[in-house]
Structure 1
Amino acid sequence: MSHKIRIRELKKINLEDGYLIDGFPSIGFSSAIATESMIHTSKFEIGGVISSESFPPISVIKDGKPNFATRIFVNEDLKVGVFLSYLTLEQSLHRDAAKTMLSWAKKHKIKLIVSSVAVKSDKGEEEMIGVGSTESARSKIKEAGLKVLEHGTIPGIPGILLNEGNISGQDVIVIVFHSNGQGPDFKSSAQLCMTMSKLIPGVSCNIPSLEKEAEKAEIIIKETQEESQHLKDSMYM
């Protein structure tokens, strides 16, 4: 089975010198929920869809309309693109997903990619920490008032984005946040959304509506995960 990930753009996109947000879920759903809230608040529109033979064959129905489970949203006024996914990708797809994102960012002359990763914690820590792929990315973290991570390990798609960005000179910032990893974590979603807005000029978060969006997003993500698992079980029986 091919792991090749394909992007199909649905319109002409101009994001030169802009930003790209990685909205793939990690631990819990906070990253997907934060990016979904940002999309609704800042009036993004769909710019493309992402597919792969390795993705489960699923259509996500919203407001009666079919949608790809992984899509690209854009706001050309703000020069921001978002890779939003209801799929929690298997580890075997992380490298391909990250490289696809980096290739797309290069094509559209993106100056900064912003990703995030959850650190599982039940203690309720609130501090957001940033990791940068380059000196300029680390300067942006400090300018936003965030602490820079000096030592640690960043797994998955965010880790690959950092490594590849370091080699190619692409600015990548990964926000490290705390989450209990269970249910729609409104608090960490809101904090993550607000932190992203410090790094990306113009984007905003409607915190009062975040809880409602979190509940809806959690239902869709959980349903997508469950259906994906059922499909995998039937495919390999």
Structure 2
Amino acid sequence: MARSTARFLYRVSHPLGEHVIKSAKTVETPSARIAFDVSHHPARIHAVKALRGRVGFLSLTRLVVESYEREDYLLFSGFEDTGASLDQETMEKLFSCSGCVQGHEDVSATVQQRLNAEAARHAKATISRSLEQNSGHFNRARDKLEQWADDRVLSAEKELAATKEQIKSLRRLARQAVTLEEQHEIQQRLQKLEKQQCRQRQDIFKAEDEIMEKRDTLIDSLERRLAQHTESEALFTIRWPVQ
């Protein structure tokens, strides 16, 4: 396998990686034996170097998680002939080494069953992490909305309370007014403040309606995340020796 091709197999977020994967999906990928050469790799990869002289199997699965957003993952599953499982990072680094296809390799039912079980376990863990991340996003959005709602309503209520105090004060002055001119001036000011009070009450209702609308949007977002759809696709299985 060419080194440049292998390097992009698991970088699904990279535009070129997406193109390579899309193109590769149309190509038949029967199980094969690929020998990886770590001895001539320019950089020292300790995890892969530890596999030198060892043999095993691995498979690559594409997992798609669709909730509020679409998430694509490329998950490796593999193990040595000794039975020891390989971690995702080691298998990714294995594909940064040059490789040589040595022909077709039959995969026994027992091996395939083990690879399928590991792939299912990795997919379950990935989906769980995705749900946790979505939950974290939701909690932060909820906290932000609640803080904004509290600030919005509190500010409007403070303005309304201040206007009420001014009205109360003017009404006391009106009872003490001596002349008609004083009474007229106070009543004009009261009229303006009462209209202002009415607008401020309407502003509170509008703020509450806006808060309810934003909360409904947030709940819809949560429901979309909970209505999670997943699908997986096996891309290839190989027998690997490391030289």
Which band: TM-score by shorter chain?
under 0.3
Higher helix share: 2
The structure, 1 or 2, with the larger RCO (C-alpha pairs under 8 Å, 6+ apart) is 2
Q: Kindly name which structure, 1 or 2, has the bigger radius of gyration based on alpha carbons.
A: 2
TM-score, structure 2 normalization: 0.23
- Report which of the two has the higher share of strand: 1
